[in-house]
Chains A and B, each alone.
Chain A
């Protein structure tokens, strides 16, 4: 099965209680929006975050959008809007 790495940062990580996981894709590739939909099905906390709150996404450390394709070996990072500086 094609596996990807998912990282969660800051408030999102605290709310989900998960910093990092290995995730098996159901097919060779999927879009960011498909991945978010699958994650939202886990439970109410995941559903709330992935359907209602503003979640940004990076694929292989570059900003991505809902249509970006994810493949085996990719690193996907989910995080809230940034607050540095």
Chain B
């Protein structure tokens, strides 16, 4: 399941939905990303997240389909927020369930790593120095290449 929304999300409810899926589930891995107060040593007052409506959902659905071919996962959930976000707010949720933990851990990490380099989201940071669009990080590209 893929959701792109401005509202906050409830991790407990998303976890319960993954748990309710089927009796063969032996493992659930969840990841939540939050807005940091400092990014590369610069203070962040707020973050604005833009995306490409329609394309984002297709890319994220495609990532889940790829993960499901690569690992024996049962289901996966991705929730990504857009719009104005403040430090400590939740931005992104990835949850995966499977019979055993190895597939769930690997698929969750894969989804997060590839989301960061392929899903059409862009962050604009607002701080004491004004606003600026963030540049993509080489370290994120390197992490993503591990899964090729």
| Cβ contacts B115-146/A at 8 Å (1 or 0 each) | 11111111110000000011111001000000
Interface size on B, as a range, is 20 to 34
How distant is A24 from chain B, measured CB to nearest CB, in Å? 23
Chain B residue nearest in CB terms to A58: B55
Most buried by A among B59, B120, B121, B137: B120
| Cβ contacts B9-53/A at 8 Å (1 or 0 each) | 000000000000000000000000100000000000000011110
The 8 closest A-B pairs by CB, nearest first: A84-B121, A81-B136, A10-B122, A61-B55, A11-B133, A85-B116, A83-B134, A83-B123
Q: B residues within 8 Å of A by Cβ?
A: 33, 49-52, 54-55, 58-59, 80, 91-92, 112, 115-124, 133-137, 140
15 inter-chain pairs at a CB distance below 8 angstroms, sorted by A residue, are A9-B122, A14-B133, A58-B55, A61-B54, A79-B120, A80-B122, A81-B135, A82-B120, A82-B122, A83-B121, A83-B122, A84-B120, A84-B122, A85-B33, A85-B112
